[in-house]
Homo-oligomer: A and B are copies of this chain.
Amino acid sequence: MQDLVERTIAAIRPLDRRAMEAARARQPQLTKPWGSLGRLEELATQIAGITGQPMPRLGARAVITCAGDHGVVAEGVSMFGPETTPAMVRNFLAGGAGINVLARLVGADVIVLDVGVAAELPPHPKLISRKIGWGTGNIVHGPAMTREQAWAAIAAGVEAATHVIEGGSTLLGTGDMGIANTTPSSAMVAAFTGEPPARVTGRGSGIDDATLARKIAVVERALAVNQPDPADPIDVVAKVGGFEIAAIAGLCLAGAARRVPVVLDGFIAGAGALLAARLAPAVIPYLIAGHASVEIGHRVVLRELGLQPLITLDLRLGEGTGAALAMHVVEAACRILVEMNTWQGANVAGPLVADDDALTA
């Protein structure tokens, strides 16, 4: 397991500078004022660099929603009971959840990766079963999982993403399902960044003030009891993380290794991406922050990764919904580069003043 992850990390290369330069050089030739499509232009350059194609065309795409349960749910940190995790997985497989609706709208498949749901899930064509455990241990009493389990959960993410990419996906979105999973995400982000738990712990599914205070105390206890070592990413995820969060890190690493852009969802995805980035900083240029979550710890994650979100619509659902919504923006950026006319092609006079900086930037 560790070996697969390490091989995946070793396969990550820098972005393709030539493709990026070609993409960047094409923008001023398109029939629009220089720079007038703002972040769509930067995004198209990034996708060119990721894919190695100066004119990137995206085809099939998928959101991989990683699912797992959490022992810490016993501490009363969520609005929902643990039975909701498998019930929502069934909802995903039936096509009726938020992620299904938003994924359909961008033509993305929804694949569920079970790495730790505390229930038997019957086989389904859209379900990848790689259960590492029936939920994690309760992090206020001890570690969430063993180091071996952490590597195995990351490896499950790598394998799922690789399977989906080999099936033709050219764009990946990350999703999560796991009642109580903002709690380990907050613990991981606090451990990695040194931020106090109160600065990275939010209302998750919509808890009230009293529950939020309890949740912050739970994160503090989890850190005090487990003493995760921020310099050892596997120690952090094993002690205070979650199976599906580790799997999300695997999705990021596999996307990067295969030169497929990975659109992150919100806070839980961010915790997984932060784990991936601590294992392999070279993964970061392959990541796209789909949206800015309401969850307060998300801004810490984005700052830490140096990512700017594409969409800010006060979402906090998870499942991959923000990633699916943002796939439209990613597609738009690529289509602009590929489909727009050039000044020459359209036989339109360009700007009156030659701007050498813009042409050569």
Tell me if A353 is interfacial: C-beta within 8 Å of chain B. Answer: yes
**Is A98 a contact partner of B32 (Cβ separation < 8 A)?**
yes
- Chain B neighbourhood of A30, CB < 8 A: 98
Q: How far is the CA of A98 from the CA of B102 in the complex (A)?
A: 24
- Chain B neighbourhood of A353, CB < 8 A: 79
Q: How far is the CA of A74 from the CA of B282 in the complex (A)?
A: 51
- Chain B neighbourhood of A84, CB < 8 A: 348-349
How many of chain A's residues have a CB under 8 angstroms from any CB in B? Answer: 64
Tell me if A205 is interfacial: C-beta within 8 Å of chain B. Answer: yes
With A84-B349, A348-B87 as contacts: A32 and B317 at CB distance below 8 Å = yes
The residue that A206 contacts in the complex, of B34, B316, B341, with Cβ under 8 A, is B34
The residue that A97 contacts in the complex, of B31, B311, B350, with Cβ under 8 A, is B31
Q: How far is the CA of A205 from the CA of B345 in the complex (A)?
A: 20
Chain A window 72-103, contacts with chain B (Cβ cutoff 8 Å), 1 for yes, 0 for no: 00000011110110011011001011101110
Tell me if A121 is interfacial: C-beta within 8 Å of chain B. Answer: no
Tell me if A306 is interfacial: C-beta within 8 Å of chain B. Answer: no
CB within 8 Å of B: which of A332-352?
332, 335-336, 339-341, 345-352
- Chain B neighbourhood of A34, CB < 8 A: 206
**Is B294 a contact partner of A91 (Cβ separation < 8 A)?**
no
What would 11 more interface pairs be, CB under 8 Å, given A80-B350, A98-B336?
Answer: A31-B88, A35-B206, A35-B316, A36-B205, A36-B206, A37-B98, A38-B294, A87-B346, A91-B346, A101-B340, A105-B331
